[in-house]
Amino acid sequence: MRAYCQADGRGDRLAASTWSAVAPLVAWNLEPAWDRLHLIRGFEIGTPQRRDGVVDIDVKYTLFADVSADGVRRAERIESRRYVLEPSGERGWRLRGPPPPPYIFESQADAAALAALLSPDDPVYLSNSAFVWNLLRDAGWEIAHSNTADLPSAAGYTSERTANVGDLVLYYADGTPYHVGMVESDDAVVSSTLNGGIRRTPFGAFAGEIRYLRPAAEPAATPTAPPPGRQIPAP
């Protein structure tokens, strides 16, 4: 657990070149291209508690600020997060998904630069929400960008029980979406990841509850990509 928290704090989850340091410690193979993260002053690991073949560990973070495409919000507080470790191999343990947002040491980060990087207009970094937003814009939909966690309440979408090609797929953890992709076919979702780039995956490639959003208005221009159409059964 300490090795994971240290690697997370260094920012190893934020680049493909350093994600290999995290890979043996976690159960998820693909890291979402995050559009939000937390800056922390430090962390404190609680006492492990065994149950049903896994181990629960609470980690208390001393938060300094929340960073997203909307900017930097100073938010000094204590935040507790429960992690679940599952057996891996003969002696090892690894963190069970869904993955939490990154917790980066504020002493090693430039908050303003990170906020600029998370912007949907950044030419270098493509977050998961910026990726689907660009796909919608290319298809002629005039919908404002929203961070992944804000998409359920964003204007311009309706919530759906089943998915059509072109709908957004939201993956939830603790009641909040942490990753978003777009339905590409009956069995494939396309999304932006940090360690794998743009990936086509099965619906179940990311952990957590799945929900769907559909653009609610008519496209403002002739689509250049497939609009929502054929219904796909929920996984």
User: Are 91 and 141 part of one and the same domain?
Assistant: no
* CATH number for the domain that contains residue 105: 3.10.450
User: Are 139 and 76 part of one and the same domain?
Assistant: no
Residue after which a domain boundary falls, among 98, 118, 138 = 118
The per-residue pLDDT for 233 is 36
User: Are 83 and 133 part of one and the same domain?
Assistant: no
pLDDT tens-digit profile of 138-165? 999 999 999 999 999 999 999 999 999 9
Tokens standing for 187? 């069995």
**Looking at the domain assignment, is residue 7 inside a domain?**
yes
User: Are 166 and 90 part of one and the same domain?
Assistant: no
Residue after which a domain boundary falls, among 72, 89, 118 = 118
**Looking at the domain assignment, is residue 123 inside a domain?**
no
**Looking at the domain assignment, is residue 181 inside a domain?**
yes
The per-residue pLDDT for 191 is 98
CA dihedral of residues 125, 129, 134, 140 (deg, nearest 10): -170
The per-residue pLDDT for 218 is 63
**Looking at the domain assignment, is residue 35 inside a domain?**
yes
Q: Do the strands 188-193 and 71-88 form a parallel or antiparallel pair, or are they unpaired?
A: unpaired
The per-residue pLDDT for 89 is 79
User: Are 100 and 187 part of one and the same domain?
Assistant: no
User: Are 23 and 66 part of one and the same domain?
Assistant: yes
Contact 170, 149 (CB under 8 A): no
**Looking at the domain assignment, is residue 147 inside a domain?**
yes
Residue after which a domain boundary falls, among 55, 83, 118 = 118
The per-residue pLDDT for 221 is 52
User: Are 104 and 208 part of one and the same domain?
Assistant: no
Helices (H) and strands (E) in the chain, counts: 3, 14
**Looking at the domain assignment, is residue 52 inside a domain?**
yes
Per the structure, the count of domains in the chain is 2
* CATH number for the domain that contains residue 174: 3.90.1720
**Looking at the domain assignment, is residue 74 inside a domain?**
yes
**Looking at the domain assignment, is residue 105 inside a domain?**
yes
The ranges of the chain with pLDDT < 50 are: 222-235
User: Are 139 and 109 part of one and the same domain?
Assistant: no
User: Are 37 and 95 part of one and the same domain?
Assistant: yes
User: Are 158 and 89 part of one and the same domain?
Assistant: no
Maximum Cα interatomic distance, the chain, rounded to a whole number of Å: 57
Residue 27: which domain range? 2-118
- C-alpha span between 165 and 215 (Å, rounded): 11
> Cα-flanking dihedrals φ and ψ of residue 169, to 5°?
-110, 120
pTM: 0.91
User: Are 148 and 108 part of one and the same domain?
Assistant: no
User: Are 144 and 214 part of one and the same domain?
Assistant: yes
Give 66: exposed, middle or buried? Use CB within 10 Å, 0-12, 13-18, 19+. buried
The per-residue pLDDT for 231 is 35
